[in-house]
């Protein structure tokens, strides 16, 4: 099983940022109202995710470290209409197989908590601990036993930037959750519980807030809500375009192309618009189960989604001109 876990780890955790993503999504799935992420050494040395979610009892805590032991699917039917982020039960065992893993958790009102430790995919040690609210997971020395992965990691600056990107995306997708990111002991990003609009603008920044227009359209049974940066507010960096599909941040070449096509006449071809596009679509018309890292989706009708985005941007640009 250790080898299987390490192979899965290569799929699920490519770098510190992917571990951050998996852990925070678990916290959100656990109903957390507040999530704090602390990283040190660009997440290579230490990642900590602390939540106030519903926690785990002793049996579940041990089970959580076993492969495919997700608590989130009851039937294969669920795979098609999945609401939670996790649905494979691979993240925790994968992470624990390539790090020194520590978890403290407790159920609400329990008189005792649990601590779980795994070192580099070795034996899972479960011990009683002080009761607490929610779950705290610490990932130390990521990739300590997989030198190939370790060598593959980029500079601290790059890995840290990737963590910040992932954190912002998670914050964008979860306005009702208070979220804080600490990097080497300093608060880098902090969002209180917010309404969606306030969260979007907080993440995109004041400059964007002053230079964007909001546009909502219905298209082919989808609802597309957009915060569209003015054409003068373009950027060299394509990461300033963010897409949410049914509450999940995704990255999709076709959606990026559609957004740029909408802006085609008003932004130079070597620049990217700055925008947040939120798509609500019938879950039956989108497959989110494409890759374990889950940044990609497959639409039943990609042309229709692209056309919707173009129409939305066009409508927004028309209003900007007025
Ligand atoms: P998945 O999220 O796909 O179910 P994971 O490996 O990420 O698989 O997590 C395994 C299980 O551990 C989850 O199904 C859940 O029951 C439990 N779990 C993980 N993180 C938390 C958390 N922060 N709070 C409560 N339960 C958690
Ligand atoms: Mg998970």
Mean pLDDT over each residue of the chain, to the nearest integer: 90
- CA of 192 from ligand 1 middle (Å) equals 24
**Is 157 inside a domain boundary?**
yes
Cβ of residue 24 lying under 6 Å from some atom of ligand 1: no
On whether the CB atoms of residues 258 and 224 are closer than 8 A, the answer is no
Ramachandran area for residue 253 (φ above 0: left; ψ -120 to 50: alpha; else beta): alpha
**Is 208 inside a domain boundary?**
yes
- Let me know whether 140 and 212 are in one domain: no
What Rg do the C-alpha atoms of the chain give, in angstroms? 20
Contacts of 224 (CB under 8 A, 6+ apart): 216, 217, 218, 277, 278, 279, 280, 308, 309, 311, 312
d(CA 87, CA 68): 9
Q: Is 287 helix (H, G, I), strand (E, B) or coil?
A: strand
Residue 75 pLDDT more than 80?
no
On whether the CB atoms of residues 20 and 48 are closer than 8 A, the answer is no
**C-alpha angle 235/239/242, rounded to 5°?**
110
- Please state the pTM of the whole predicted model: 0.90
Specify the pairing of strand 275-280 against strand 241-245.
parallel
What pLDDT score was predicted for residue 306? 97
Helix axes 302-320, 253-262, angle to 10 degrees: 30
Out of 25, 26, 34, 93, give the residue to mutate to test ligand 1, the one with the largest number of ligand atoms within 8 Å of its CB. Answer: 26
Of 172, 191, 210, which residue sits at a domain end?
191
Looking at residue 208, which CATH number applies to its domain? Answer: 3.30.230.10
Between 288 and 193, the more confident residue is 193
Contacts of 141 (CB under 8 A, 6+ apart): 44, 45, 99, 100
Ion ligand 2: residues, Cβ under 5 Å: 26, 86, 91
- Let me know whether 25 and 131 are in one domain: yes
DSSP string, 98-157: TSEEEEEE--TT-S-EEEEEEETT---EEEEE---SSEEEEEESTTTT-HHHHHH---HH
Per-residue confidence at 7, pLDDT binned at 50, 70, 90?
Answer: low
Of 76-85, 183-192, 223-232, 305-314, the least confident: 76-85
Per-residue confidence at 259, pLDDT binned at 50, 70, 90?
Answer: very high
Q: Which atom of ligand 1 is nearest to the CA of 60?
A: 16
Looking at residue 18, which CATH number applies to its domain? Answer: 3.30.565.10
Domain that holds residue 89: 2-191
- Let me know whether 69 and 187 are in one domain: yes
Residue 77 pLDDT more than 90?
no
Q: Which atom of ligand 1 is nearest to the CA of 85?
A: 2
Ligand having the closest approach to the CA of 94: 1
Cβ of residue 116 lying under 6 Å from some atom of ligand 1: no
- Let me know whether 107 and 41 are in one domain: yes
Per-residue confidence at 76, pLDDT binned at 50, 70, 90?
Answer: low
Of 191, 214, 249, which residue sits at a domain end?
191
- The ipTM assigned to this model is 0.99
- Let me know whether 133 and 151 are in one domain: yes
**Is 196 inside a domain boundary?**
no
What pLDDT score was predicted for residue 168? 95
Q: Which atom of ligand 1 is nearest to the CA of 51?
A: 23
Between 97 and 7, the more confident residue is 97
- Let me know whether 47 and 78 are in one domain: yes
Which phi and psi angles does 96 have, rounded to 5°?
Answer: -65, -20
Q: Count the alpha carbons within 13 Å of 113 in the hemisphere toward its beta carbon.
A: 17
Residue 81 pLDDT more than 60?
no
d(CA 49, CA 27): 8
**Is 169 inside a domain boundary?**
yes
- Let me know whether 136 and 220 are in one domain: no
Of 242-246, 256-260, 266-270, the least confident: 266-270
Which phi and psi angles does 153 have, rounded to 5°?
Answer: -70, 145
Contacts of 21 (CB under 8 A, 6+ apart): 166, 170, 293
Intra-chain end-to-end CA distance of the chain, in Å: 62
Residue 79 pLDDT more than 60?
no
- Let me know whether 181 and 224 are in one domain: no
What pLDDT score was predicted for residue 215? 97
Of 62-66, 177-181, 192-196, the least confident: 62-66
Count of domains forming the chain: 2
Between 77 and 241, the more confident residue is 241
Measure Cα distances from 231 to 142, 253, 255, 258, 308 in Å.
42, 20, 18, 15, 19
**Is 154 inside a domain boundary?**
yes
**Is 10 inside a domain boundary?**
yes
- Let me know whether 118 and 214 are in one domain: no
Cβ of residue 84 lying under 6 Å from some atom of ligand 1: no
- Let me know whether 223 and 157 are in one domain: no
Closest CA to 227 of 269, 278, 172: 278
Cβ of residue 222 lying under 6 Å from some atom of ligand 1: no
Ligand having the closest approach to the CA of 108: 1
What pLDDT score was predicted for residue 132? 96
Closest CA to 116 of 133, 96, 134, 132: 96
Of 191, 217, 232, which residue sits at a domain end?
191
Cβ of residue 56 lying under 6 Å from some atom of ligand 1: yes
Cβ of residue 94 lying under 6 Å from some atom of ligand 1: no
- Let me know whether 180 and 217 are in one domain: no
DSSP string, 202-241: HHH-HHHHHTEEEEEEEETTEEEEEEEE-GGG-BS-GGGE
The residues facing 36 across adjacent strands are 50, 180
Torsion of CA 77, 293, 47, 192, to 10 degrees: -70
Ligand having the closest approach to the CA of 133: 1
- Let me know whether 236 and 151 are in one domain: no
**Is 271 inside a domain boundary?**
yes
Q: Which atom of ligand 1 is nearest to the CA of 95?
A: 6
Cβ of residue 18 lying under 6 Å from some atom of ligand 1: no
Cβ of residue 145 lying under 6 Å from some atom of ligand 1: no
């Amino acid at each position: 099983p250790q080898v299987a876990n390490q192979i899965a780890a290569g799929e699920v955790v490519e770098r510190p940022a992917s571990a951050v993503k998996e852990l925070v999504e678990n916290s959100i799935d656990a109903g957390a109202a507040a999530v704090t992420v602390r990283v040190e050494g660009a997440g290579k040395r230490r990642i900590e995710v602390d939540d106030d979610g519903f926690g785990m009892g002793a049996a579940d805590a041990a089970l959580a470290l076993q492969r495919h032991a997700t608590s989130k699917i009851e039937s294969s039917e669920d795979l098609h209409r999945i609401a939670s982020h996790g649905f494979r039960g691979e993240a925790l065992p994968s992470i624990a197989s390539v790090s020194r893993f520590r978890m403290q958790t407790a159920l609400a009102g329990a008189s005792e908590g649990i601590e779980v430790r795994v070192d580099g995919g070795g034996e899972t040690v479960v011990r009683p601990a002080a009761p607490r609210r929610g779950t705290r997971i610490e990932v130390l020395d990521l990739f300590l036993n997989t030198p190939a992965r370790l060598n593959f990691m980029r500079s601290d600056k790059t890995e840290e930037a990737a963590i910040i990107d992932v954190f912002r995306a998670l914050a964008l997708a979860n306005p009702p959750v208070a979220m804080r990111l600490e990097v080497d002991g300093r608060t880098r990003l902090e969002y209180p519980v917010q309404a969606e609009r306030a969260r979007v603008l907080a993440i995109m920044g004041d400059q964007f807030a002053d230079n964007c227009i909001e546009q909502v359209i219905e298209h082919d049974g989808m609802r597309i809500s957009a915060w569209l940066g003015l054409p003068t507010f373009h950027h060299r960096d394509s990461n300033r375009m963010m897409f949410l599909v049914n509450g999940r941040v995704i990255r999709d070449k076709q959606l990026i192309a559609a957004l740029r096509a909408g802006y085609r006449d008003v932004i130079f071809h070597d620049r990217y618009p700055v925008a947040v596009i939120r798509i609500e679509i019938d879950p039956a018309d989108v497959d989110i189960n494409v890759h374990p890292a889950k940044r990609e989706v497959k639409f039943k009708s990609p042309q229709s989604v692209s056309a919707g985005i173009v129409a939305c941007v066009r409508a927004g640009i028309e209003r900007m001109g007025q």
